[in-house]
């Protein structure tokens, strides 16, 4: 690629801004979010709603440009939608949950917000990621405006607390990771990501870090226990992911020679992973010497070796991954450019599930056929996370190259939601046009490359040392303490 190809076209940027403005939703005359897509050529379904996860991309670019009002309104209005009472009806959203999406409805000339917590969604999936993104966005707003008093308001303190009570509640499993049902995040369909998927863990980690900065104990005695619970959880979660999710050629070698059926404290193969369940011949070819990544999921006799972009990129941005691991992930993206970036940045996951595995794992989902949509499709929204990870690791050239690959096609194809095919050359079979997070993702990627000083809106530094040392004292047996550092 020539240097001039790396120059971002000003006209494309101006068109993207125009399209983003058109996606803004007003409530009582005030901007409160952006719709998922402004596409009149296909049935709206719920694409005419404001999705919490989709809005984050728009929100961060608005914050970077000083347009804080829309984000403030969004945070205030979504907070009002969060259920505050214990729910006895199991079909109703639990206390603390945030909706997947909402829309403005007009009854007798009066406007209301109608929220969907997954009870209307296709397959009734729970949007676990919404409440995590919500805390991350609240913290981004505070970073941008320096208005910490906004987050200290009692209703926000309660909102954060209710989310954390939901996430930190005792459950049956004994891992520091968060146990969730299938389709609980960006991949909101059955894709074999139930259990402890990386995407949720990376967002959980970032949300805990954000909540730790935003919660104030003074005047809120109830917050003390929550803060203590976060302090306990953070280092354990961090070390667990760094150790058990990590795959590189050395780790693959260890797993390849793992013994099974180990009982008791001294077990090395804690999760009883059987090497035969892994595509190790493929991985042996695919893993570059200096590359590595975090696995998609870890559980009893389960190591999902698919590469999931959002989880890996957010792990870099939030510093859930070590500095060395972050560099290795970026090396992998660089060395396996054709697979992970191809003709449209970037693959949601790699490789796709095919054949019998596709049929069993997705339930024969025609939208998720191999190399389409969530099953190995390419999603331009991921560009901004790639850019943020590139800034964080000082690999900006990779982001520049990816943006240059994307820009002309994005405009020509009218800001498509996703692309299909092994290299991302086909316009997604059921893809929407003028998909807002595609537009915002492009603008935000460009902004982060041009003005890396905006990175702290979404990024975190390494965990404070005192938390790490405390966790080392009681968890030394199960995790390698060097991984905290
Ligand atoms: C699809 C995506 C989901 C997104 C929604 C609206 O369902 O899988 O992540 O939030 O569309 O764009």
Ligand 1 pocket test: which of 50, 130, 188, 190 has the largest number of ligand atoms within 8 Å of its C-beta? 188
Cα 427 to ligand 1 centroid, rounded to whole Å:
16
Give 206-219 pLDDT, tens digit per residue. 999 999 999 999 98
pLDDT > 50? residue 119? yes
The alpha-helical segments, DSSP class H, found in 23-121 are: 52-64, 69-81
Instruction: State how far the Cα of 380 lies from the Cα of 345, in Å rounded to an integer.
Output: 6
User: For ligand 1, what atom is nearest to the CA of residue 54?
Assistant: 10
Instruction: State how far the Cα of 110 lies from the Cα of 21, in Å rounded to an integer.
Output: 24
Sign of the alpha-carbon torsion through 310, 312, 313, 319: positive
Instruction: State how far the Cα of 185 lies from the Cα of 191, in Å rounded to an integer.
Output: 11
Q: What is the 3-state secondary structure (H, E, C) of 303-365?
A: EEEEEEHHHHHHHHHCCCCCHHHHHHHHHHHHHCHHHHCCCCCCECEECCCCHHHHHHHHCCC
Which range, 35-49, 113-127, 369-383, has the best average confidence (pLDDT)?
369-383
User: For ligand 1, what atom is nearest to the CA of residue 374?
Assistant: 8
Instruction: State how far the Cα of 307 lies from the Cα of 325, in Å rounded to an integer.
Output: 14
Instruction: State how far the Cα of 124 lies from the Cα of 377, in Å rounded to an integer.
Output: 22
Instruction: State how far the Cα of 386 lies from the Cα of 384, in Å rounded to an integer.
Output: 5
Token pair 């399209």: residue? 19
Q: Which residues contact 150 (CB under 8 A, 6 or more apart)?
A: 72, 141, 142, 156
pLDDT > 80? residue 140? yes
User: What does the buried/exposed string (b/e) look like for 233-250 if buried means 16 or more CB atoms within 10 Å of the residue's CB?
Assistant: bbbbbbbbbbbbbbbbee
User: For ligand 1, what atom is nearest to the CA of residue 436?
Assistant: 12
Cα 55 to ligand 1 centroid, rounded to whole Å:
11
Against a cut of 0.85, is the pTM above it?
Answer: yes
Give 149-207 pLDDT, tens digit per residue. 999 999 999 999 999 999 999 989 899 999 999 999 999 999 999 999 999 999 999 99
Pick the CATH number of 3-477 from 2.40.50.110, 1.50.10.10, 3.40.50.300, 1.10.10.10: 1.50.10.10
Nearest to 205 by CA among 147, 254, 245, 152: 245
CA distances in angstroms from 441 to 121, 155, 180, 436, 437, listed in the order given: 24, 30, 26, 8, 5
- The domains of the chain are located at 3-477
Q: Does residue 54's CB lie within 6 angstroms of at least one atom of ligand 1?
A: yes
Instruction: State how far the Cα of 81 lies from the Cα of 59, in Å rounded to an integer.
Output: 18
């Amino acid at each position: 690629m020539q240097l001039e190809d790396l120059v971002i076209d000003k006209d494309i940027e101006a068109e993207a801004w125009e399209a983003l403005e058109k996606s803004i939703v007003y409530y009582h005359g005030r901007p409160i979010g952006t719709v998922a897509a402004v596409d009149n050529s296909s049935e709206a379904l719920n694409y005419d709603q404001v999705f919490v996860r989709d809005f984050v991309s728009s929100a961060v670019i608005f914050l970077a440009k000083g347009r804080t009002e829309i984000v403030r309104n969004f945070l205030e209005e979504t907070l009002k939608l969060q259920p505050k009472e214990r729910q006895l009806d199991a079909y109703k959203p639990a206390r603390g949950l945030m909706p997947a999406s909402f829309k403005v409805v007009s009854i007798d000339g009066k406007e209301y917000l109608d929220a969907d917590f997954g009870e209307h969604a296709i397959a009734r999936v729970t949007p676990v990621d919404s409440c995590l993104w919500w805390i991350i966005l609240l913290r981004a707003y505070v970073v941008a405006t320096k208005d910490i008093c906004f987050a200290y308001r009692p209703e926000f303190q309660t909102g954060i607390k209710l989310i954390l009570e939901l996430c930190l509640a005792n459950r049956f499993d004994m891992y520091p990771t968060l146990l969730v049902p299938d389709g609980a995040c960006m991949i909101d369909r059955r894709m074999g990501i139930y259990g402890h998927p990386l995407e949720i863990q990376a967002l959980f980690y970032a949300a805990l870090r954000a909540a730790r900065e935003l919660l104030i104990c003074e005047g809120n005695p109830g917050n003390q226990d929550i803060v203590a619970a976060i302090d306990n959880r953070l280092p354990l979660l961090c070390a667990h992911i760094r150790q058990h999710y990590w795959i590189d050629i050395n780790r693959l070698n260890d797993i390849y020679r793992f013994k099974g059926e180990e009982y008791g404290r001294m077990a090395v193969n804690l999760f009883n992973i059987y090497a035969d369940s892994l595509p190790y011949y493929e991985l042996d070819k695919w893993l570059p010497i200096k590359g590595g990544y975090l696995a998609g999921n870890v559980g009893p006799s389960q190591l999902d070796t698919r590469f999931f972009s959002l989880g890996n990129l957010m792990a870099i941005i939030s510093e859930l991954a070590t500095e060395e691991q972050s560099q290795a992930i970026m090396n992998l993206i660089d060395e396996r450019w054709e697979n992970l970036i191809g003709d449209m940045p970037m693959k949601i996951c790699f490789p796709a599930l095919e054949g019998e595995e596709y049929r069993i794992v997705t339930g024969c989902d025609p939208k998720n056929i191999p190399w389409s949509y969530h099953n190995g499709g390419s999603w331009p929204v991921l560009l901004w996370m790639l850019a943020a990870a590139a800034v964080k690791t000082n690999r900006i050239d990779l982001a520049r190259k990816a943006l240059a690959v994307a820009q002309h096609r994005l405009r020509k194809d009218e800001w498509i939601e996703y692309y299909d095919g092994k290299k991302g050359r086909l316009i997604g079979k059921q893809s929407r046009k003028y998909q807002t997070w595609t537009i915002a993702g492009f603008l935000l990627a460009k902004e982060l490359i041009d003005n890396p000083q905006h990175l702290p809106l979404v990024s975190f530094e390494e965990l404070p040392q005192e938390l790490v040392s405390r966790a080392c004292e009681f968890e030394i047996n199960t995790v390698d303490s060097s991984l905290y550092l």
